[in-house]
Amino acid sequence: MRRLSRNVVLTSVLSWLGLVLAGPAVAGAASPDQAPAAKALLERAVARYQNDGDKAFAAFSRQGEFIDGERYVFVVDTKGVMLASGGPSVALIGRDVSQVLEPDLQKAFKDVLQTPESKGIQQAEYRWNNWADGKVERKRVYFQRVGERILAVGYYVPRASAEQARVLLDKASDALKRDESATLAAINNLSGGFIQDDLYVFVVNLDDNRYVAHGTNLRLVNTDFNKVKDPQGKPVGAPILALARKQDEGQYEYHWRNPVTGKVENKHAYIRKVGHYLVAVGYYSQ
């Protein structure tokens, strides 16, 4: 079995603690593959705990039915003590893991530990370093309180694919053809249906080269796309507009800040002209 350093163990613990400060995840945003498996694993763990009580901790903390690939069960009590873990935080069983938080964050952690049992399964997400590959990735967690215990299962959300980017571009283009004003409003709304993990849509009016919609940064709306540059100062808007003047559809690669990881990454954008608008969706790769 792979030996893990203390830093890796603390990172694993902090990654779970981070979820309690992030608030609930956006409904319906879960990965189509990982989410049901994570929830099912938590439900099995809750059922085992309700039947066996604290005796179930031994099963949660060893290789077996409660470890599913990178997904595993972990448990803390309502005082913040780690009671069981099938992952790296197993080394901290018996310790008050709330102590690794800064003092101003400990209250938020304690508030979550007091979540009423009647709320059932809860969901949250945050961004954290994945110890397996060293990358900052989006993580989603299901957790449930049972008596004085909180059981949880989490997983890292995979990056969106090129195919998913093309599907979102088709969706935005078709919607824009049907109803311009409603579609632009929806793209500018976080819950409008045009954001999928690290994918989002932006739209530029080709008559004046100004953004009219942006899925993650409303401050760009009404600004001049022609003047947009990447973090290193290389033009991005001008070459994309030049491409759009030559053809109705195309692709362009550049560097841009990923709204999920917060890092500047390679971005591959698909662009399409819809009437007098330029519609674009891009996916990220490192």
Q: Please tell me whether residue 47 adopts helix, strand or coil conformation.
A: helix
Question: What is the pLDDT confidence band of residue 141, given thresholds at 50, 70 and 90?
Answer: confident
Residue 41: Cβ-neighbour burial (10 angstroms; 0-12, 13-18, 19+):
buried
pLDDT of residue 138: 63
Using a pLDDT cut of 70, give the percent of the chain over it: 77
pTM: 0.55
Cα distance between residue 204 and residue 94, in whole Å: 55
Cα distance between residue 49 and residue 160, in whole Å: 35
Q: Are 198 and 260 in contact (CB under 8 A)?
A: yes
HSE-up of 272 (CA within 13 Å, CB side)? Answer: 17
Cα distance between residue 102 and residue 77, in whole Å: 19
Name the β-bridge partners of 273: 278
Structural domains in the chain, sorted by start: 6-156 (3.30.450.20), 162-285 (3.30.450.20)
23: left (phi over 0), alpha (psi -120 to 50) or beta: left
Smallest Cα–Cα separation from 173: which of 194, 199, 198? 194
The token pair that represents 103 in the structure block: 């003092």
Q: Please tell me whether residue 100 adopts helix, strand or coil conformation.
A: helix
Residue with tokens 């929830």: 39
Please give the angle made by the CA atoms of 215, 158 and 262, to the nearest 5 degrees.
50
pLDDT of residue 190: 77
Residue 266 host element (H or E): strand 264-274
The predicted-structure confidence for 48-96, as pLDDT tens digits, reads as follows: 999 999 999 999 999 889 998 878 999 999 888 999 999 877 888 998 8
Cα distance between residue 201 and residue 77, in whole Å: 42
Strands 249-257 and 264-274, how do they pair?
Answer: antiparallel
Cα distance between residue 121 and residue 113, in whole Å: 14
Q: Are 243 and 252 in contact (CB under 8 A)?
A: yes
Q: Is the pLDDT of residue 19 over 80?
A: no
Cα distance between residue 141 and residue 110, in whole Å: 18
The predicted-structure confidence for 240-255, as pLDDT tens digits, reads as follows: 999 999 999 999 999 9
Q: Are 212 and 277 in contact (CB under 8 A)?
A: yes
